[in-house]
Structure 1
Amino acid sequence: MKNYSLRPATARSRVLIVDEAHENRLLVGQWVRCAGHEVVLADGGQRALKLLSDENFDLILLDFRMQRMDGFDVLRRIRINPALTQIPVVVSGVDELEVIIRCIEGGAEDYLTWPVAPPLLLARVHACLEKKRLRDGERRYLQELLDLKRDLARRNEELTVANALLEETARTDPVTGIPNRRSAMKSLDHLWALANRTEQSLACLMVDIDHFKAVNDNYGHQAGDRVLRETVAAMKKGMRASDVLGRWGGDEFLILCPATEAASARACAGRLVRLVGRQARARARLPVTVSVGVSQKLDRMTHPEQLIQAADEALYEAKRAGRDQVSAAG
């Protein structure tokens, strides 16, 4: 028998040959096998569908003239199965134009009239396999793009979370969880500009924990950190939601009170002194008090640092006068 082993245009593929005619099935199978492909034979539609459900194939050569289940019925069942839609089907044994059109519209990749010359059959086989290879490559490429897009989206989300965490860490005091000095200064600049724009008042409270160094020296830094956190918790009870509390230094805190006149600021400071003192009395082992200096934004002030300086000077007066009290800038 003449060898029609044309050089295949694709790598070795699995081809399912479906034909009820025994001799045709063997003959076509031998041609395809000689072209370098793996061949599986099915003697009818039911057998073909069973093989397709159990194994993977790259191409189906389907005879249209079968009696038990005609080729179009087999083609229809293949095309309604999502797992099989990507396998090209070449229908053989079709001669009438109407039947050819029906098969193509039903999902056939190509058709062959019978009898067929082996070189033509193999050329059609290789063309269909090459098209499938290209389509499979496109699908893999698109899937890789989708996977890459999802991976980039996930990484961007992780980066956004990490950046937000870093930003939060950069502006938060790690011991007390309140804004640090840098963040408090930004709030001061914002509130200062707002007060200038709206001609509203702005008050500043500088709070210092009395004898805090002795707490660290006598009880350790863990106890000192606990005192800082408890002092913050106590002060928050006496503040408005619009007030800004920040840690200014080791034992100092800054409180900014927008739209607050001098009398209200002094009242707030006195309330903080009482709240911290009340908490200290409840914790007899570590009695803690605070001193507070109060300043008010004045017309002669041109920079926010002047508001801080005035509150700092008032704080010094409160500590010089005996601590555990409030002093307001003149």
Structure 2
Amino acid sequence: MVSERGEEEKHPFHVLAVDDSNIDRMLLERLLTFSSYQVTCVESGDKALEYLGLVDIHQQNECERSSPLSSPSSTQLSCESLSSKSEVSKVNLIMTDYSMPGISGYDLLKRIKDSSWKDVPVVVMSSENVPSRINMCLEGGAEEFLLKPVKLSDVEKIHSNLISSTNYSPCEENAIAEIEKSNNAKREGSEIDKNCSNGNKRKATVGTSLDLSDRRPRVQELPVS
């Protein structure tokens, strides 16, 4: 069993992905996992706030009023679980959909930027290209605004921007270098497979032409009298 510390060393980038669409969450998780990220997916802004430990004032008051001598209520358990999550989880990037029921991506962005997680980059995603919405999110502190469907090139661009704007420890830099090496190997492997496939097709074509020429009937020259 891998420890939490071991997971952080193996995956220096931990992404919290927030989207109410199951299909979009699966696609985003697949892209991020392919890029060697550690990914945690949640289906709403409320779940994201819970994961980050950003409890509402009402819930905080409930926790404070709860007596430690009494039997733990569901509220107490919820507060304890949220507190423990915020202590052990290290999130390097938050990617959230804009249009979600309840807390929208913009509302989540504002809550994050007004909290202890304000230094964590937030990327907002949307299937609608609305300039006013894009400007509002960027002015509100979003690192980037991506149009869906998110592509691998978008993830790689974000990765490059994070590396250039963040100071990492030597251990983290070595892990980042390993991720980039792994991603380059995957891309090169894909190109090699493509080239080999094209080469095999060319060989098959040449082989066929040679076989056909060998099968052509040969004309014998008759002696001239």
Runs of 4+ in 1 over 4 A off after TM superposition: none
CA distance in 2, matches of 1:48, 1:90: 14
Amino acid at match of 2:141: G
Q: Which of 93, 115, 127 pairs up with 1:59?
A: 93
Q: Work out whether residues 19 and 62 of structure 1, in 8 Å CA contact, stay in contact via their aligned partners in 2.
A: yes
Quote the offset at 1:133 in angstroms: 2.4
CA distance in 2, matches of 1:92, 1:86: 19
Amino acid at match of 1:57: V
Unaligned runs of 5+ in 2: 1-10, 54-85, 170-225
CA distance in 2, matches of 1:70, 1:111: 14
Q: 1:131/1:84 Cα in 2 relative to 1: closer, same or farther (>3 Å)?
A: farther
Instruction: Give TM-score scaled by structure 1 length.
Output: 0.36
Alignment of 1:11-22 (within 5 A): 12-22=12-22
Alignment of 1:34-49 (within 5 A): 34-49=34-49
Alignment of 1:166-185 (within 5 A): none
Instruction: Among all aligned residue pairs of Structure 1 and Structure 2, give the percentage whose two residues are the same amino acid.
Output: 29
CA distance in 1, matches of 2:99, 2:93: 19
The C-alpha deviation readout for 1:67-119, integer Å capped at 9, x for no partner, is: 221111111100111x1111000111051111110000101001101123x22
Quote the offset at 1:26 in angstroms: 1.3
Quote the offset at 1:46 in angstroms: 0.7
Quote the offset at 1:50 in angstroms: 1.2
Name the structure with the higher helix share: 2
Unaligned runs of 5+ in 1: 1-10, 138-330
Q: Work out whether residues 90 and 111 of structure 1, in 8 Å CA contact, stay in contact via their aligned partners in 2.
A: yes
Residue 65 (structure 2) pairs with residue 32 (structure 1)? no
Quote the offset at 1:129 in angstroms: 2.6
C-alpha RMSD of the superposition: 1.7
Name the structure with the higher strand share: 1
- Alignment partner of 1:40: what SS? strand
Instruction: Give TM-score scaled by structure 2 length.
Output: 0.52
Q: 1:49/1:96 Cα in 2 relative to 1: closer, same or farther (>3 Å)?
A: same
The total of aligned residue pairs comes to 124
Alignment of 1:83-232 (within 5 A): 83-93=116-126, 94-116=128-150, 118-134=151-167
Number of the residue aligned with 1:23: 23
CA distance in 2, matches of 1:33, 1:108: 22
Q: Work out whether residues 12 and 36 of structure 1, in 8 Å CA contact, stay in contact via their aligned partners in 2.
A: no
The C-alpha deviation readout for 1:175-213, integer Å capped at 9, x for no partner, is: xxxxxxxxxxxxxxxxxxxxxxxxxxxxxxxxxxxxxxx
> Looking at both structures, which has the greater relative contact order when contacts are Cα pairs under 8 Å and sequence separation is at least 6?
2
- Alignment partner of 1:16: what SS? strand
Q: Which moved more, 1:72-81 or 1:48-57?
A: 48-57
Alignment of 1:303-322 (within 5 A): none
Q: 1:29/1:22 Cα in 2 relative to 1: closer, same or farther (>3 Å)?
A: same
Amino acid at match of 1:36: S
Q: Work out whether residues 88 and 132 of structure 1, in 8 Å CA contact, stay in contact via their aligned partners in 2.
A: no
Q: 1:128/1:16 Cα in 2 relative to 1: closer, same or farther (>3 Å)?
A: farther
Amino acid at match of 2:99: R
Amino acid at match of 2:160: A
Q: Work out whether residues 63 and 71 of structure 1, in 8 Å CA contact, stay in contact via their aligned partners in 2.
A: yes
Q: Which has the larger radius of gyration?
A: 1
CA distance in 2, matches of 1:68, 1:132: 32
Number of the residue aligned with 1:73: 107
Q: 1:52/1:132 Cα in 2 relative to 1: closer, same or farther (>3 Å)?
A: farther
